[in-house]
Structure 1
Amino acid sequence: MGAMRLLGAVLLAGLLVCGGVARAAEDPVITFGMSAAFTGPSRGLGIELYRGASACFEQVNAKGGVHGRKLGITALDDGYNPLPTIANTIQFIERDDVFALFSYVGTPTVTRILPLLLKYRDRHVYLLFPFTGAEPHRSEPYSEFVFNLRASYMQETEAVVDRLIALGRTRVGIFYQADAYGRGGWDGVRRALAKYGLKPVADVSYPRGSGTEYSYTEQARLLHEADIDAVVCIGTYASGAGFIRDLRDMGNTALAASVSFADGDNLIRLLVEMGGAAGVDYTADLVHMQVVPCYEDLGLPAVRAYRAAMDSYSGVLPAHLGKESYLPKRYSAVSFEGYMNARLIVEMLRRMGANPDKSKIPRVLESMADLDVGLDMPVSFGPDRHQGLDRVYFMMLSGGRHVPVADWERWRR
């Protein structure tokens, strides 16, 4: 009898152990594939977006994950170039079998992988919350495979043009990147001006990949000679900083407004560095847009949660991504956006239950109507709405801090 009890105990222990192993095998990390610029002059975008999303996942994983499953990001560098982005995306789908594509960075990169979403539609491949406000992935036939959190560039450019016209600044120029991103913003400015019977007084472009070392003197000269009183910049933070430097060195004080992709935090950082070396203040008469609230607004629950996550974040960038030096910011608009992207992923998985299924992504996200995520407005998706937020925020440097624009009258003509 004793031997039988001993044998039963051994068998029961074996079953428990095997059950634990089976459970572990059934519950791997839920992984999301992220292709972004981690090298090159725009690397701050990929790094900050990754940091914010990773901080959120790390926070959730420390509490046991979602329904017992841990969350992770498989990130690959594309240098803000389309061809590596295509290769990375195919790897995510074919080899890594990620749960979804997530937080891609840039219009020229995202636009080139959109046909892959159609190609792999039977494998339920979706792109969630890319860092771009462009139109191609918001339009058929690709919109059904993409969900955006952020407002579009059309909304950003219309919002800033409305402000400029209200201030009496009607001689508007455009500085834009010579690719799909820049042309999309260029089109947005032109459409917004057309509402008032106006056209840009001048527009100039520059090649993608240009940094602060590039000379924008010719672009600045053309806009200066056109007698602009405002310029809308559709570029990166490195190109935008170089252009504003050259425009100010020419003596031009036109109000310069940059869209959210230009990353106001890093734009200001570069302008302060260059201005300090030259003994010039390059940050005056500068406005930049972002699509999440100010990360200093502690009245918002989402801001408090984000800052707590960043304060405790381990901050370790995978070795294969940290090939070029970059000093991350403790808090930034881009990492805050990455954090909110990840918050929506967590909510999506929570609603899916214990057995997450890629094919349910559209239905689950489209069920999120008027979702309170702790911002100053709810996130709303639906069958005909794959963009969660619409608001555009205007920021400036004041007293050494990145703050919302409170007084536009200083720029009235």
Structure 2
Amino acid sequence: MTVAIRRALGICIIGAGVSIASGVFANSADEIRIGQTLPYSGPLSGFGVIGRAQEAYFNKLNAEGGINGRKIKFISLDDAYSPPKTVEQTRKLVEQDEVLMMFGTLGTATNNAVHRYLNGKKIPQLFVLSGATKWADPKAFPWTMPGMAAYESEGVVYAKHILKTKPDAKIAVLAQNDDLGKDYVAGFKRGLGDKAAKMIVSEVTYETSSPTISSQLAALKASGANVLFGAVVGKFSSQMIKGVAEIGWKPNLMFVPTSASSITFLEPAGLDNATGLITSSYQKDINDEQWAKDDDVKAYFAFMKEHLPTADARNTNYATGFLNAHLITHILKACGNDISRENILRQATSMKDVRLPLLLTGVSVSTSKDDYLSFQQLRLRRFNGKNWEGFGELLDDQ
């Protein structure tokens, strides 16, 4: 055997040893690797703080000894809310960083881009930050679970409120032309039941690539509608709120999804223009005065002050990250010493009446192998010009 061949074989053996060691270390008794992609740049970069809150929470856990003696290695990468970038970053996390699971990736289109890939590799795609119904399909995609209320459930809740408070409403519907918009509208119409055809007087859509929605708003106003339901997100939330005010339209009721309720999207539209806006939630609003002395809310602000002292703790996206970090922590603690992907999925799909910090009173998380929906109860909220105020009782989509 020549020296060159021996050297080449030596290099291969060393390289293989590093690869094997890396694979063992990723799932060792010392570490749990969690992967995530979020829009830290691009049009939805405001949601990036969700990951910052989670990173801070995992760092806190690590300082306290980790979970069942293991430290969390949380790797959250920027996908700019671009599906091709999500694919690139997810493959890196899985194939190079060897993460045990994906957690809390945001967006319908972005998660859809890696849906089959992750299920094909049997890698948990847990608590997706999108309310599309497709994430709760245990038969076709058993490794994927949603991490927020279903869009259809929200739509039903808004319809119930209209039927109760304004049964003679003339409703205009503005929806994003994708799975998100279709799910919201489907739930909304289901909630209206056989009255939907008569009550909805105008229904238009927009593309996510559209620069503005001015023409759609003008058409909806011209219909004579006095209630507006907008299945909108991101910049289109701001455009809808501001646009309605600019054309002098004053619907008696105006709704936006929970995902469009962040102050990040209300401020560009003008908080005065957003006054009276209605949305829903399953968690306590950290800025609502009724929760100012609540133990969960005080614990959240204490956490932010200690671990993210320069952040705007009143940004509700941080609170979302805080709550969901507790959710995945509950799963990992329940796994005990078995942190296999199979056991992680088993624990995630067998939760029963789990209470988490910041959940509304009466709301808990229950799942089963046949029901992947984590959050199914909602309470309506109304914007008062400064913050959101909860009202009414807990509602569900039944």
TM-score by length of 2: 0.82
Structure 2 matches for 1:66-105, cutoff 5 A?
66-105=67-106
Structure 2 matches for 1:112-151, cutoff 5 A?
112-121=113-122, 125-139=123-137, 141-151=139-149
Rounded to whole Å, the distance in 1 between the matches of 2:188 and 2:81 is: 24
Aligned match of 2:314:
331
The SS at the match of 1:394 is strand
Aligned match of 2:108:
107
Rounded to whole Å, the distance in 2 between the matches of 1:111 and 1:338 is: 21
1:384 aligns with 2:361: no
* Residue number among 244, 247, 259 corresponding to 1:261 in the alignment: 259
Distance change in 2, residues 1:333/1:314 (3 Å)? closer
Moved more, 247-256 or 24-33: 24-33
Root-mean-square deviation over aligned CA pairs = 2.7
Q: Do the aligned partners of 1:253 and 1:285 also contact (CA within 8 Å) in 2?
A: no
Aligned match of 1:285:
276
Amino acid at match of 2:275: A
Aligned match of 1:10:
none
Rounded to whole Å, the distance in 1 between the matches of 2:54 and 2:209 is: 25
Distance change in 2, residues 1:222/1:67 (3 Å)? same
Rounded to whole Å, the distance in 1 between the matches of 2:356 and 2:261 is: 23
Deviation at 1:50, TM superposition (A): 0.9
Structure 2 matches for 1:351-390, cutoff 5 A?
351-374=334-357, 375=359, 376=361, 377-390=363-376
Deviation at 1:259, TM superposition (A): 0.6
Q: Do the aligned partners of 1:292 and 1:336 also contact (CA within 8 Å) in 2?
A: no
Q: Do the aligned partners of 1:118 and 1:142 also contact (CA within 8 Å) in 2?
A: no
Aligned match of 1:400:
386
Deviation at 1:105, TM superposition (A): 0.7
Moved more, 398-407 or 387-396: 398-407
Deviation at 1:126, TM superposition (A): 0.9
The SS at the match of 2:128 is coil
Structure 2 matches for 1:233-312, cutoff 5 A?
233-254=230-251, 255-272=253-270, 281-296=272-287, 297-298=291-292, 300-312=294-306
Listed as ranges, the gaps of 5+ residues in structure 2 are 1-23, 394-398
Residues 144-175 of structure 1 deviation map (CA, whole Å, 9 limit, x = unaligned): 21223422111101001110121215212221
Q: Do the aligned partners of 2:25 and 2:31 also contact (CA within 8 Å) in 1?
A: no
The SS at the match of 1:252 is coil
Residues 77-111 of structure 1 deviation map (CA, whole Å, 9 limit, x = unaligned): 22222222222222222111112111111111122
Q: Which has the higher contact order (CA 8 A, sep 6+)?
A: 1
The SS at the match of 2:173 is strand
Distance change in 2, residues 1:256/1:369 (3 Å)? same
Deviation at 1:127, TM superposition (A): 1.0
Amino acid at match of 2:286: Y
Q: Do the aligned partners of 2:282 and 2:378 also contact (CA within 8 Å) in 1?
A: yes
Q: Do the aligned partners of 1:237 and 1:264 also contact (CA within 8 Å) in 2?
A: no
Q: Do the aligned partners of 1:205 and 1:219 also contact (CA within 8 Å) in 2?
A: yes
Amino acid at match of 1:402: W
Rounded to whole Å, the distance in 2 between the matches of 1:118 and 1:23 is: 23
Aligned match of 2:204:
204
Q: Do the aligned partners of 2:26 and 2:32 also contact (CA within 8 Å) in 1?
A: no
Aligned match of 2:180:
181
Deviation at 1:67, TM superposition (A): 2.0
The SS at the match of 1:181 is helix
Rounded to whole Å, the distance in 2 between the matches of 1:94 and 1:315 is: 35
Rounded to whole Å, the distance in 2 between the matches of 1:350 and 1:133 is: 26
Rounded to whole Å, the distance in 1 between the matches of 2:52 and 2:27 is: 28
Aligned match of 1:7:
none
Q: Do the aligned partners of 1:148 and 1:387 also contact (CA within 8 Å) in 2?
A: yes
TM-score by length of 1: 0.80
Aligned match of 1:343:
326
Distance change in 2, residues 1:118/1:400 (3 Å)? closer
Rounded to whole Å, the distance in 2 between the matches of 1:32 and 1:300 is: 31
Rounded to whole Å, the distance in 2 between the matches of 1:189 and 1:25 is: 44
Rounded to whole Å, the distance in 2 between the matches of 1:90 and 1:24 is: 15
Amino acid at match of 2:285: C
Listed as ranges, the gaps of 5+ residues in structure 1 are 1-21, 276-280, 317-327, 408-413
Rounded to whole Å, the distance in 2 between the matches of 1:378 and 1:25 is: 30
Aligned match of 1:222:
219
Q: Do the aligned partners of 1:41 and 1:209 also contact (CA within 8 Å) in 2?
A: no
The SS at the match of 2:230 is strand
Aligned match of 2:307:
313
Deviation at 1:263, TM superposition (A): 3.4
Aligned match of 2:49:
48
Rounded to whole Å, the distance in 1 between the matches of 2:296 and 2:368 is: 22
